[in-house]
A and B are shown apart, each in its own frame.
Chain A
Amino acid sequence: GAVVSQHPSRVICKSGTSVKIECRSLDFQATTMFWYRQFPKQSLMLMATSNEGSKATYEQGVEKDKFLINHASLTLSTLTVTSAHPEDSSFYICSARVNQENQPQHFGDGTRLSIL
């Protein structure tokens, strides 16, 4: 149980392109989803927290107009990197959790984004 699917797993595109990443909870309803960014050999850096049906809460320093998050249902959240540039190249990971006590976040397998 608790499977989170993230798609696509890898994207290579030109500078200026907008890229959408999907995160789906396959066998549970995720009240809350999280989006992270991870640089090589580093820990995960939280970008934003998204609750179904409401606006995402962004961490300090993360541009909400650059990283658009939509959490339209209890099983789907999307992250759109708008007008991506080479400095946006990174490993993006989503997670989802049920809003109950003692429930951990469950993670997708990440999206490797490479902007040329």
Chain B
Amino acid sequence: GESVGLHLPTLSVQEGDNSIINCAYSNSASDYFIWYKQESGKGPQFIIDIRSNMDKRQGQRVTVLLNKTVKHLSLQIAATQPGDSAVYFCAESRDGNNRKLIWGLGTSLAVNP
């Protein structure tokens, strides 16, 4: 399944499928991007980050893709599991100002068993 960014805040996938969560960022001067996972009643949990001098970075079961031309960021989750159900936020920042984060609106991922 695939979300289309801010217009579809909910993504529902079957367990075992791959998930793609999209994010459009706002500031062309941003040079550092982070994906966070937030489970209900908890704080955001760091998943993966990427700097603007890269276009792809892989972690365990997750891949982040960065397209600076269109200011687009995506998070791919392989073999989605029920434990992946959460709200996913992208965040951008640029140098200075204590690296304040500008947050996306979030996408709720629901994994169906």
Interface residues of A (CB under 8 A from B): 2, 4, 6, 32, 34, 42-44, 46, 49, 51, 57, 93, 95, 97, 99, 102-110, 112
Name the A residues within 8 Å of B100 (CB-CB): 34, 46, 49
A residues less than 8 Å from B32 (CB atoms): 102
Return chain A residues, CB-CB under 8 Å to B49: 102, 104
Given contacts A32-B98, A49-B98, contact A106 B46 (CB under 8 A): yes
Residues of chain B at interface, number, CB under 8 A: 20
Interface class of chain B by DSSP: mixed
Q: Are the CB atoms of A44 and B89 closer together than 8 Å?
A: yes
Q: Contacting A108 at CB < 8 Å: which of B41, B43, B106?
A: B43
A to B contact number (C-beta, < 8 Å): 56
Q: Shortest beta-carbon distance, A113 to chain B, in Å?
A: 13
Q: Is the interface of A mostly helix, strand, loop or mixed?
A: strand
Specify which chain B residues have a CB less than 8 angstroms from the CB of A42 in the assembled complex.
105-106
Bound form: Cα–Cα A61–B101 in Å: 18
Which single member of A32, A104, A107 contacts B43 (CB below 8 Å)? A107
CB pair A109 B42 closer than 8 Å? yes
Q: Evaluate contact between B103 and A43: CB separation under 8 angstroms.
A: yes
Cα-based distance from A43 to B34 in the complex (angstroms): 14
Other A-B pairs, 16, CB within 8 Å; known A109-B42, A109-B43: A32-B99, A46-B101, A49-B100, A93-B43, A95-B43, A97-B99, A105-B99, A105-B101, A106-B46, A107-B36, A107-B44, A107-B45, A109-B41, A110-B41, A110-B42, A110-B43
